[in-house]
Structure 1
Amino acid sequence: MARPPYPPFNAETAVQKVRLAEDAWNSQDPEKVAQAYTLDSQWRNRLEFINGRQEIVTFLTRKWERERDYRLIKELWAFQDNRIAVRFAYEWQDQAGQWFRSHGNENWEFDGDGLMRYRVASINDQPISATDRLFLWPEGPRPGSHIGLSSLGL
């Protein structure tokens, strides 16, 4: 299975790849998201090491059961050849009703078919009040009219 755009990336295709990833993650569909990764994809996400699509599905299922009302914005930071670096923020609510904004960076490496084979994520969680939320669109992809991280001052 191939997943355009393909490396080597240029400014336009790198931005496109980042937005496609953001939209997929905002679907909160673990099976759909996992299709963008190689069968043997390797991740480091916070303290967890995840290997392969099935572990990705398991991880994302657990993540979105815990992180309710999830809304994510990703922004391109840098790219070269088959690698992309992004920064991101997402808002979510825990089961006790506490809101958080999680900030982080990801480094991605892709194979020739445009599938991500390597992902490293570093993430910090910041408790916020419901009135401090900035990501207020309905569940699903961020609308094209909603501003990004830099415009939000994040």
Structure 2
Amino acid sequence: MILVRDGFETRETWPFECLRCLRVWEEEFVVRHFADDHGNEVEIWLSSGVAVQPPWSGTCCPGCGAYHVTSFPSGYLARHPELRPEAELVPELVPVPEFGAAAASGPALEEPRTPLRGAPVAGRLLVAIGVPVALFVGYELYRNLVVVTHVHH
């Protein structure tokens, strides 16, 4: 049995970024610091009252579930507000146009659009992989159809 002497707790906010989906978020932790009679120090990390691994050990992205996550220094997002997670977008309510003569004379109302956060990354990834593959396949077809057929004639 080890007797723990004094202890104290601190609150730490850790900002993270997922390197897969580029989501940025913050998590708040309570860190309990203890020392025993032999001078050994122990930290217990809590998130929402539950003991968890330290933030540098296996953090998972809440958006896509990836474990390829990096963290920023404490207070980094306060100094760089452009990186802060955006507030959840609430779509505006648009009145439904009435049927009949009144609706025909007014302008058409569009449905509100909410931006897709992961779409630009997926599109760039598709282009980055698809273009080289298409060029390679095109070259192989050209080489097999044109160059090889001229050599055999």
TM-score w.r.t. the length of structure 1 is: 0.26
TM-score w.r.t. the length of structure 2 is: 0.26
The higher-RCO structure (CA 8 Å, 6+ apart) is 1
Larger Rg: 2
Structure with the larger strand share: 1
